[in-house]
Amino acid sequence: MRYVSTRGQAPVLDFEQAMMTGLARDGGLYLPETVPAMTRDQIAALAGLRYEEVALRVVTPYIGDSFTQDELRGAIARAYAGFDHVSRAPLIELAPGHHLLELFHGPTLAFKDFAMQLIGQLFQLALKRSGQRVAILGATSGDTGSAAIEAFRGLDNVDVFIMYPHGRVSEVQRRQMSTPADANVHALAVDGNFDDCQARLKDLFNDHGFRDEVGLAGVNSINWARVLAQIVYYFTAATSLGAPAREIDFTVPTGNFGDILAGSIAKQMGLPIGRLVVATNQNDILHRALSTGEYRVGTVAPSISPSMDIQVSSNFERALWLAYGRDGSAIGQLMEELKSGGFTISQGALEHLRETYVSGRASEAETSAMIATIREETGQVICPHTAVAVKVAREHIRAGVPMISLATAHPAKFPDAVEDAVGIRPPLPPHMADLFARDERITRIANDAEAIKSLILERRTA
């Protein structure tokens, strides 16, 4: 399997190289040259299998010679062993025809664990083989950072540096990043918002001298391996409701477009997904882009669903590349225009996007009201990101087509928003019950690429 960059100017890589590289050297994102198809029979055979077995079958065609089947099987087993639900990604019925896919049973209580735990295992295999050392650099709106730290803490040949926007993550999120005592963990509170963190990340990756000197590796959802791991639960969920014999719709609470892009790849592989519904909070650039064709960057307004507080949505570049017929120079040009505030999606590309995606938004009040509604109707307490999805999903349910909304985080990760909505503070699961008693370690840092570079050079142990 060969991986190519969305901007067409970076070397073609194999899976392991694409995983270790993260962001392509031309500033683009890697995607497989062709998406492997699964036959109807192969998809039907997934129904009822264990999550780990489905993962092995879905992921294998993308790996090429990078890992043996035994290595991959072992990595998948270790990645999901720590999840506290036997199904890994259980599906529950919310209302007739509307289901919730619970993706928060991993160690840090958000869906990011699905990809990060696997990528942690695959990095270890690759680094052991090569003897290489790396500095992992991530930007987070909260959940990616804690998931990455959990996946890489304590490893010999890895330092993990996570930038998050100072004051803009929930206390649980911050503590998950600041309390691991391992010397190779570095939580950086950046004076800026999440888009600033992502911009600094790109600055450092685009400084090729620095990148090579410290062995910079990226585990944000710009990393193809992240997207790949997330394809799996679309298969487990859809086949448990009768796919491939019937069509299934999904609604995904969306920020950086990684999770929903994984759904679109599942669809390209042959899974009969009807519609993928992009659900945004008040930071609705994606909803505006899909409704009007204008991708215009506004300012981020902090919300009660902070993991979706974003204006520049990295993985949307991958969807654009597919919609523009894999034309790297067209994408390069759009991204150039983005530097001065935005671009217009061509009519052809917009039509292509609309064949797969529809969209909607939820305001702060609507999000909060939906947490309360779901509690009244079902007794379930959902997190604010999930509430955004459920609100938008309800507007897009089609007769006879099951709708699956992705529940991306555990409500205990966002206790303030939940308490405001329903008057109760959901308790943390037992393995995290003492989170508020643990010591924190945080480095406050300016929104400045040079300052961040110096800190990495000074602190790295690997």
Ligand X SMILES: *Cc1c(COP(=O)(O)O)cnc(C)c1O
| Closer to ligand X by Cβ: residue 112 or 202 | 112
Give the shortest CB-406-to-ligand X separation in angstroms.
8
Q: What one-letter code names the amino acid at 126?
A: A
Tokens at 428, concatenated: 């943390």
Interacting span for ligand X (CB under 6 A) from 92-100, 257-265, 290-298, 430-438: 257-265
Stretch near ligand X under the rule CB under 6 A, chosen from 1-9, 88-96, 247-255, 425-433: 247-255
How big is the site for ligand X, counted in residues (CB under 6 A)?
A: 16
Of residues 302-321, those binding ligand X (CB under 6 A): 307-308
Q: Parallel, antiparallel, or unpaired: how do β-strands 3-5 and 30-32 relate?
A: antiparallel
339 counts as catalytic = no
Query: In the bound complex, what is the minimum distance in angstroms from residue 188's beta carbon to ligand X?
Result: 18
Q: What are 77's two structure tokens?
A: 């087993």
Among 10, 159, 408, 456, binds ligand X (CB under 6 A): 408
Q: Which residues between 141 and 160 bind ligand X (CB under 6 A)?
A: 143
Based on the shown chain and the rule CB under 6 A, indicate whether residue 221 belongs to the binding site for ligand X: yes
209 three-class SS: helix
- Of 372, 255, 251, 259, nearest to 306 by C-alpha is 255
Backbone angles phi, psi at 216, to 5 degrees: -65, 130
Distance CA 106, CA 409 (A): 10
β-bridge partners, 160: 136, 185
User: What whole-number distance in Å separates Cα of residue 462 and Cα of residue 184?
Assistant: 8
Task: For residues 289 and 133, give the distance between their C-alpha atoms in angstroms, rounded to a whole number.
Answer: 40
- Of 32 and 142, the one with the shorter C-beta distance to ligand X is 142
* Span of 47-55, 254-262, 322-330, 436-444 interacting with ligand X by CB under 6 A: 254-262
Which span (1-9, 151-159, 249-257, 325-333) binds ligand X, by CB under 6 A? 249-257
- The DSSP result for 50-103, as a single string, is -HHHHHHHHHHHHHTTSS-HHHHHHHHHHHHHT-SSTTSS-EEEEETTEEEEE-
Where helices occur in 89-247 by DSSP H, the ranges are 112-130, 143-152, 171-178, 194-206, 208-214, 224-240
In this complex, which beta carbon is closest to ligand X, that of residue 16 or of residue 259? 259
Q: Which of 176, 254 has the CB closer to ligand X?
A: 254
Among 110, 187, 289, 323, binds ligand X (CB under 6 A): 110
Interaction of residue 409 with ligand X, rule CB under 6 A: yes
Does position 113 bind ligand X by CB under 6 A? Answer: no
Among 66, 121, 146, 256, binds ligand X (CB under 6 A): 256
Residue closer to ligand X, measured from CB, 147 or 248: 147
Is 20 an interacting residue with respect to ligand X (CB under 6 A)? Answer: no
Smallest gap from residue 10 Cβ to ligand X (A): 23
Q: Does 359 bind ligand X (CB under 6 A)?
A: no
Q: How far apart are CA 103 and CA 408, in angstroms?
A: 5
DSSP string, 14-63: -HHHHHHH-B-TTS-BEEESSPPP--HHHHHTTTT--HHHHHHHHHHHHH
List the x/- string, 361-390, binding to ligand X by CB under 6 A. Answer: ------------------------x-----
Stretch that binds ligand X, among 252-260, 369-377, 433-441, 446-454 (CB under 6 A): 252-260
Using rule CB under 6 A, residue 58 touches ligand X: no
Using an 8 Å Cβ cutoff, are 42 and 57 in contact? yes
Q: Which is nearer to ligand X, 205 or 257 (CB)?
A: 257
Q: Which stretch binds ligand X (CB under 6 A): 3-11, 25-33, 248-256, 368-376?
A: 248-256
The residue within the footprint of ligand X, chosen from 113, 150, 159, 259 (CB under 6 A), is: 259
**Least distance to ligand X, CB of residue 112, Å:** 5
Which H helix or E strand runs over 296?
A: strand 294-296
Between residue 114 and residue 143, which ones bind ligand X under the rule CB under 6 A?
A: 143
Task: Give me the sheet containing 357-361, strands edge to edge.
Answer: 91-95, 98-102, 403-407, 248-253, 273-280, 357-361
Residue among 119 and 330 whose Cβ is closer to ligand X: 119
Cβ neighbors of 220 (< 8 A, separation 6 or more) are 22, 138, 139, 140, 144, 198, 201, 226, 256, 314
Decide: is 257 part of the binding site for ligand X (CB under 6 A).
yes
3-state helix vs strand vs coil in the chain, percent to 5: 45, 15, 35
The bridge status of strand 98-102 relative to strand 403-407 is: parallel
Establish if 56 lies at the interface with ligand X (CB under 6 A).
Answer: no
Q: Determine if 112 is a binding residue for ligand X (CB under 6 A).
A: yes
Q: Does 258 bind ligand X (CB under 6 A)?
A: yes
- Interface residues with ligand X (CB under 6 A) are 110, 112, 143, 221, 253-259, 307-308, 385, 408-409
Known catalytic residues?
A: 112
